[in-house]
């Protein structure tokens, strides 16, 4: 059963929360982070993307970057921008995007649960991405990256959290520049804290990583390096009930046609797909449909019956695309390592796919139908993993609002 604990968050003063809150480190490159933090000395990007405070071109994985992150975090504490909670608490984090609300519980989850598969995974991780966050955590002695978990709804937990929201005022409540509203409540009452911990132990057999596989894997490895610290045996998570979550599409752009002409490529597609031109950008409306953008033209692709396996992995659209196009026609065997492919979150829209192809940076793009929450759970429960970059969750939790320090 799921073991969670309250923790003493390192968090901003109420009047500075909006300025401190930053988009997750892994959805921004250095240039975007530098632009986001321009004229905002309070931005938590000075901690999570500290290369922005070093000369342009600095190796983002250099020791100097991690030392700068530590320096900046310590300065935030000295300047009373951030402070430590007086006692271990749980936190409620609500996000509202386009009128849709989702509410999660911020806590620290057991690293042992991660190792014992009580916290279930659905993706492989990349060693170089793990090392970056390991070095970052060890340098600053804190975990800044929140791991987004999901659980199958438990009415008692949902009711308890919703009642606390109703009865109390949030400590943070602001709308970010991207129009997403962020609200956080502090649960400090011992009886309520104990009730939540007990409910998770008794009613939640497992949780599922929705977003943050690399953050979780890194925190688990840091726990071994800091085995003398009790706080490092837990890692920062926000756990959402499945009923409130939706997965967005995660699309692909490809650099070349593997020495094929566009006409040859389209002809090869017809072996496994029904191919037809569309008058405008095509976003798949159902499973086993795909959009293709090439040479300023959109196409609708529909997978033919019998071209995919009827199992949790084989039936996924990301698998159908991988097996029947990326591997079979374009020669892309490993999407995690092949430099010819890149991934575009659905939040950026189909215009981003067109932009990257029309600029000739990429040769073609694919739009996909989103994976469902039930598919994610089924795959994680079966012990399988999805192809890389199968899920995109939005809205994103902001970094800097609640940090887990190894104290």
Residue 92: which of 282, 268, 239 has the closest Cα?
239
pLDDT per position as a tens digit, 207-245: 999 989 999 999 999 999 999 999 999 999 999 999 999
User: What is the chain's Cα-based Rg?
Assistant: 22
What's the pLDDT at 150?
96
What confidence tens digit (pLDDT) does each residue in 128-151 have?
889 999 999 999 999 999 999 999
How confident is the prediction for the chain on average, in pLDDT? 94
Tens digit of each residue's pLDDT (9 = 90 or more) over 321-371 = 999 999 999 999 988 889 999 999 888 889 999 999 999 999 999 999 998
Same domain, 154 and 234: yes
Residues 6+ apart with CB under 8 A from 75: none
46 and 188 in a single domain? The answer is: yes
Residue 395, preceding bond cis, omega within 30 degrees? yes
94-117 pLDDT, tens digit each: 999 999 999 999 999 999 999 999
215 near 133, Cβ under 8 Å? Answer: yes
Q: What tokens appear for 22 in the block?
A: 């930053």
CATH (domain of 301): 3.30.1760
Residue 134 lies in a domain: yes
**pLDDT number for residue 182:** 98
Same domain, 207 and 82: yes
Question: Taking residues 382-407, what's their average pLDDT?
Answer: 89
Strands of 205-296, DSSP E: 207-211, 234-241, 247-248, 250-254, 273-277, 289-294
End-to-end, the C-alpha distance of the chain in Å comes to 26
- What element of type H or E holds 185? strand 181-187
Partners of 10 in beta bridges: 84, 403
Residue 295 sits in which domain range?
Answer: 250-369
Contact criterion met (CB below 8 Å) for 388 and 335: yes
What percentage of the chain carries pLDDT values higher than 70? 100
Dump pLDDT digits (tens) for 15-32. 999 999 999 998 889 999
* Judgement on whether residues 36 and 103 belong to the same structural domain of the protein: yes
Residues 207, 242: contact at Cβ < 8 Å? no
In a domain, 18, yes or no: yes
C-alpha–C-alpha distance, residues 19 and 2, integer Å: 34
The two most distant CA atoms of the chain are separated, in Å, by 67
Selected residue with higher pLDDT from 385 and 18: 18
> At residue 125, does pLDDT exceed 80?
yes
pLDDT of residue 271 exceeding 90, the answer is: yes
In-domain check, residue 374: no
* Same domain (yes/no): 318, 343: yes
Per the listing, tokens 């438990």 go with 154
Whether 386 shows a pLDDT value over 90: the answer reads: no
- Considering the domain architecture, whether residues 14 and 121 belong to the same structural domain is answered as yes
The answer to whether residue 272 sits within a structural domain is yes
Which pLDDT score, from 0 to 100, does residue 166 have? Answer: 96
**Is 387 within 8 Å of 85 (Cβ atoms)?**
no
Give residue-wise pLDDT tens across range 62-72: 999 999 999 99
Q: Do 285 and 181 share a domain, yes or no?
A: no
Claim to verify: residue 240 and residue 257 sit in the same structural domain? no
**361 and 263 in one domain?**
yes
In terms of domains, do 290 and 235 share one?
no
pLDDT at 231: 95
Neighbours of 332 (CB within 10 A): 20
CA distances from 224 to 108, 111, 124, 138, 301 (A): 16, 10, 20, 11, 47
In a shared domain, residues 31 and 133: yes
Asked whether residue 261 falls in the same domain as residue 165, the answer is no
Residue 378 placed within a domain: no
Give the model's pLDDT for residue 204: 97
Q: Is the pLDDT of residue 313 over 90?
A: no
Q: Which two tokens stand for residue 199?
A: 């409910």
Instruction: Give the count of domains, the chain.
Output: 2
Q: At what angle do helices 155-167 and 190-203 cross, to 10 degrees?
A: 160
């Amino acid at each position: 059963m799921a073991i969670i604990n309250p923790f003493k968050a390192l968090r901003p003063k109420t009047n500075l929360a909006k300025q401190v809150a930053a988009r997750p480190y892994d959805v921004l490159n250095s240039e975007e982070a530098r632009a986001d933090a321009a004229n905002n000395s309070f931005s938590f990007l000075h901690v999570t993307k500290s290369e922005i405070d070093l000369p342009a071109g600095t190796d983002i994985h250099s020791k100097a970057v991690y030392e700068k992150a530590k320096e900046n975090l310590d300065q935030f504490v000295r300047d009373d921008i951030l402070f430590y909670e007086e006692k271990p608490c749980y936190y409620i984090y609500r996000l509202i995007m386009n009128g849709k609300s989702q509410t999660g519980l911020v806590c620290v989850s057991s690293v042992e649960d991660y190792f014992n598969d009580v916290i279930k995974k659905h993706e492989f991780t990349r060693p170089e991405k793990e090392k970056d966050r390991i070095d970052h955590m060890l340098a600053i002695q804190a975990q800044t990256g929140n791991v987004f978990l999901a659980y199958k709804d438990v009415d008692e937990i949902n009711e308890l959290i919703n009642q606390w929201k109703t009865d109390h005022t949030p400590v943070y409540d602001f709308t970010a520049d991207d129009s997403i509203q962020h609200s956080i409540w502090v649960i400090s009452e011992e009886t309520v804290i104990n009730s939540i911990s007990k409910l998770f132990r008794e009613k939640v057999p497992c949780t599922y990583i929705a977003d943050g596989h690399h953050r979780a894997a890194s925190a688990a490895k840091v726990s071994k390096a800091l085995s003398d610290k009790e706080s490092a045996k837990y890692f920062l998570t926000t756990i959402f009930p499945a009923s409130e979550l939706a997965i967005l599409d995660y699309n692909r752009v490809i650099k070349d046609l593997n020495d094929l002409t566009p006409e040859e490529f389209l002809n090869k597609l017809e072996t496994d797909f029904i191919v037809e031109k569309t008058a405008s950008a095509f976003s798949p409306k159902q499973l086993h449909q795909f959009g293709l953008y090439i040479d300023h033209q959109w196409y609708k692709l529909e997978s033919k019956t019998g071209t995919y396996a009827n199992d949790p992995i084989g039936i996924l659209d990301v698998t159908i695309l991988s097996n029947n196009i990326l591997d079979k026609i374009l020669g892309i065997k490993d999407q995690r390592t092949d430099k010819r492919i890149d991934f575009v979150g659905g939040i950026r829209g189909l215009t981003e796919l067109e932009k990257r192809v029309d600029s000739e940076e990429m040769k073609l793009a694919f739009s996909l139908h989103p994976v469902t929450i039930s598919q994610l759970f089924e795959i994680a429960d079966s012990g399988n993993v999805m192809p890389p970059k199968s899920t995109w969750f939005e809205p994103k939790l902001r970094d800097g609002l609640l940090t887990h320090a190894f104290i």
